[in-house]
Structure 1
Amino acid sequence: MTQQLTIGERVAWYRHRRGMSQEVLSGLVGRTADWLGKAENNRIELDRLSVIRALAHALDVSIGDLIGEPTLLEWSADSGRRTVPALREALMDYRQLTPLLRAPADGEPPSLSALRSDVGEVWDAYQGSQYGFATRQLPLILSDALLAVRTYVGEDREEAYALLALTYQGAAMVLGKLGENELAWMAADRGLAAAQQSGNNVITGSLFRSVTHCLLSTGRFETAVQLVSDAAGFLAPGLDEATPAYLSVYGTLFLTGSMAAARAEDRATTQAFLHEAEVTASRLGGDGNHMWTAFGPTNVAIHKVATAGELGDFQVAAELGPQIDTSGLPVERRVRHNLEVARALSAWNRTDDALSVVLDAEQMAPEQVRHHYMSREIVLGWVRGTRGRPTRPVAELAERLRVV
């Protein structure tokens, strides 16, 4: 059901399950029954998360229920045949709940340099949209990182905690991409606890970003905005002597916050957060990828497009988006920008242009395009909105995305 129905059709399905009329549900979200009928029949696209959240709240379901998450992670040579369940088992190991239940450290811990390399490899895979590889590696690295924090002492233990935090953060980011929001929250929560044990404010700031992402994915937009404000206050005292990594974490936090504010339909805060990120990017002096943030002026520009889309300003997004050169950014950022541009172009009935953008994204990162709700919803909307048979490129893309 989650794969073959549009968001509007899922709204209708849950509405019938709740025994609600269109008049009742539309009234709860401040719309007309005619509008809801068109949305449920795919004559209006539900392409703003703020609207989807209102419908989810009225139906007492999650945003993920309406956008069709989670999705199946395909088996591949990179992923093997143990994917999300193996990572779930690692995260839900009860022995991590308290030291009282942990067995003594067994075996030699990895060297910190080896662990650092392994963590970096997973983050590189995430930024390369190689989710199968990352998911396969994470349980193994998590086990090594946990052994390291139980074995090392002093400064080495603090670094081990920093690497453990980044491992949890990597898990949270990958799981979020796959729609496993509850597991992502668990990973981010544990990562933030480990970051605090490291005593490293850059690591702690990085984990604040992941917690914010988790709040975003579950529709808690206002809470995410508040977290960004609070976290920025925590990091602000260190700005006078900030390293490039510190500035990147600080600036990226505001970019994440701008998305939260846009989804909460708070234009003033959206612009304020984007401005703060822009000032920080100027201070950084150019694009970089410190702490795997891909932070810099280009990332600020693509967030201006993304927030415009979230606020319903699709004409702005359609005009600005294609002008941005993202070639210097990691694949994950480039592909996500492509999907934002495609959504805006599709909203303006520029289907051929939008299809070209999605196909370019798929060429770069097939896993990311296959698993992101936005690409699936765009393509499914094209299939359902076409009189007669869809064009061959659209039909073939829909088949590859498993939406038909």
Structure 2
Amino acid sequence: MPGPDDHTGARIKEQRKLARLTQRQLAERLPYSYSLLNQVECGAKPANLDFVAAVAQALRIDVTALTGQPYVTELQQDRLTELVRPIREALDLYDLGPDDTIPGRPAKQLIAAAEDLCAQVRATRLRSAARLLPAVIAELTTAAWRTRSTELWQALASTYRTAHDIAVKLGYYDLGSVALDRMCWAAHRASDPCLAAIRQYMRALAYFREGEYAIGQRLVAAGHGIVGAAEQTREAVAVTGQLHLGASVIAARADQQNVVDTHIAEAKRCASRTGDASEIHWLSFGPTNVALHRMSAAVEMRQYDEALAQARNIALPPTLATSRRAHFLIDRARSEMETGRTEAALGSIVDARHTAPEQTRYHPGARETIKGLVHASRRTPDTLGHMAAWIGL
């Protein structure tokens, strides 16, 4: 179990000292006050993700060095670490051609298996998806090399995207980057501009996590260039809309309100053309996802009252992906905590755990919110105590 000094603030302090900076010197490099840095380092306040990204950028280190990801102790307890190495190996064998030891399954079955893995990740069944993933990658790789089928290359690219999603949700960001490189490789062989644009969108989110907002915006623009040159089908419009949503959150973290408004308006226009397009590449794109990203942008800009006002007006449809539902609850919990609604925040985090336990346990925003609630409570309620123990606090 982590010790009392094993928290994000303590890691910030350690990395600051390694950089030979005083608190005031580091604070001068941040868009945050010296007082907040002091409180975060001593554990009196949680380190929100935007704060952590700003510190990582100032110190020129990876965000994971400050968050402690992947959360190895919890992953070992959940027996998830043993599932990571086979995924890493499957991603490494992409260029060896067909494996003659793998029997051929019909293409329709392999494509259906790839789709099922995407569905499992959206349903936050990470353990099940991670266990099945390496074999599906191996089968699809061999089948694609044997037949050079466009549909199989597309399915393989989609499965690499699933590998990225699993790796990132478990905190293995380096593995996620490898998976995106493989996705690009397969999408190129499939000659699929939409998959190539989605890969740029996901690369942009990786730089968003690291606080490199200008690079993230360039990658989104590259994605628009790719999909904009393709035939403007419903699929292409949905991908275009999702690129705008990604750009809106990046701009929010960069505190660019006008840019946020422009991207949200463009995404809303795309959604009016596609309607609910959640089935397209498992992006969950549609009017509801536009509303959810608008709320997320308010959270990123620390407009917590506005975020809660928006949350009250969002009706989540029963068909919304479990992963998106949990993300909404985590955003709402953060906003409730930041506005002093601690009981409501605890309720939202408990709801997120019930909705998607694996995703919530390894989500850095959820973990920091739980830590913040512990610090804010004069007397820790039993429910909060259980939640704190659950994340290893």
1:125 aligned residue (120, 124, 128)? 120
> 1:146, CA displacement in angstroms?
0.9
Q: Which runs of 5+ in 2 are unaligned?
A: none
Indicate the SS of the match to 2:105.
Answer: coil
Within a 5 Å distance, the mapping from 1:124-143 to structure 2 comes to 124-143=119-138
Indicate the SS of the match to 2:281.
Answer: helix
> Which deviations, in whole Å up to 9, do the C-alpha atoms of 1:18-75 show, x marking residues without a partner?
33221221122255533421232344443251x3222112333211222232124356
* TM-score of the aligned structures, taking structure 2 as reference length: 0.92
The 1:56/1:2 distance shift into structure 2, 3 A limit, reads: farther
Corresponding residue for 1:318?
Answer: 308
Indicate the SS of the match to 1:290.
Answer: coil
Find the aligned partners of 1:287 and 1:279 in 2 and give their Cα distance: 13
Corresponding residue for 1:366?
Answer: 357
Matched, 1:215 2:207: yes
Corresponding residue for 1:384?
Answer: 375
1:188 aligned residue (180, 190, 193)? 180
> Which deviations, in whole Å up to 9, do the C-alpha atoms of 1:105-142 show, x marking residues without a partner?
44433221111111111111100011111111111111
The 1:2/1:35 distance shift into structure 2, 3 A limit, reads: same
Contact 1:67-1:373 within 8 A present in 2 as well: yes
Find the aligned partners of 1:84 and 1:104 in 2 and give their Cα distance: 21
Contact 2:144-2:152 within 8 A present in 1 as well: yes
State percent identity of aligned pairs. 25
Indicate the SS of the match to 1:213.
Answer: helix
Give the residue type in structure 2 aligned to 1:219.
Answer: G
Corresponding residue for 2:68?
Answer: 68
1:274 aligned residue (239, 264, 276)? 264
Give the root-mean-square deviation of aligned CA atoms: 2.3
Corresponding residue for 1:230?
Answer: 222
Find the aligned partners of 2:20 and 2:387 in 1 and give their Cα distance: 35
1:351 aligned residue (342, 358, 366)? 342
Matched, 1:33 2:34: yes
Indicate the SS of the match to 2:380.
Answer: coil
The 1:357/1:103 distance shift into structure 2, 3 A limit, reads: closer
Find the aligned partners of 1:80 and 1:45 in 2 and give their Cα distance: 26
Q: Which runs of 5+ in 1 are unaligned?
A: none
> 1:293, CA displacement in angstroms?
1.2
Q: Which shows bigger deviation, 163-172 or 62-71?
A: 62-71
Corresponding residue for 2:249?
Answer: 259
Find the aligned partners of 2:360 and 2:304 in 1 and give their Cα distance: 20
The 1:74/1:289 distance shift into structure 2, 3 A limit, reads: farther
1:151 aligned residue (135, 142, 146)? 146
Give the residue type in structure 2 aligned to 1:200.
Answer: D
Indicate the SS of the match to 1:129.
Answer: coil
Give the residue type in structure 2 aligned to 1:342.
Answer: A
Corresponding residue for 1:199?
Answer: 191
Find the aligned partners of 2:81 and 2:273 in 1 and give their Cα distance: 46
The 1:204/1:103 distance shift into structure 2, 3 A limit, reads: closer
The 1:71/1:31 distance shift into structure 2, 3 A limit, reads: closer
> 1:297, CA displacement in angstroms?
0.5
The 1:35/1:205 distance shift into structure 2, 3 A limit, reads: closer
The 1:35/1:357 distance shift into structure 2, 3 A limit, reads: closer
Contact 2:196-2:226 within 8 A present in 1 as well: no
Give the residue type in structure 1 aligned to 2:281.
Answer: M
The 1:107/1:40 distance shift into structure 2, 3 A limit, reads: closer
Find the aligned partners of 2:286 and 2:343 in 1 and give their Cα distance: 31
Give the residue type in structure 1 aligned to 2:375.
Answer: R
Q: Which shows bigger deviation, 123-132 or 12-21?
A: 12-21
Matched, 1:47 2:48: yes
Indicate the SS of the match to 1:82.
Answer: helix
Indicate the SS of the match to 2:225.
Answer: helix
Find the aligned partners of 2:209 and 2:20 in 1 and give their Cα distance: 27
> 1:208, CA displacement in angstroms?
2.7
Give the residue type in structure 2 aligned to 1:22.
Answer: Q
Contact 2:200-2:222 within 8 A present in 1 as well: no
Give the residue type in structure 2 aligned to 1:66.
Answer: L
Give the residue type in structure 2 aligned to 1:299.
Answer: N
Matched, 1:336 2:327: yes
The 1:80/1:134 distance shift into structure 2, 3 A limit, reads: same
2:274 aligned residue (281, 284, 294)? 284
Corresponding residue for 1:87?
Answer: 87
Find the aligned partners of 1:3 and 1:128 in 2 and give their Cα distance: 33
Give the residue type in structure 2 aligned to 1:27.
Answer: E
> 1:349, CA displacement in angstroms?
0.8
Q: Which shows bigger deviation, 311-320 or 10-19?
A: 10-19
> 1:103, CA displacement in angstroms?
6.9
Contact 1:23-1:33 within 8 A present in 2 as well: yes
Find the aligned partners of 2:199 and 2:250 in 1 and give their Cα distance: 16
Q: Which shows bigger deviation, 120-129 or 231-240?
A: 231-240
Give the residue type in structure 1 aligned to 2:124.
Answer: S
Find the aligned partners of 1:260 and 1:109 in 2 and give their Cα distance: 43
Find the aligned partners of 1:322 and 1:235 in 2 and give their Cα distance: 34
> 1:3, CA displacement in angstroms?
8.2
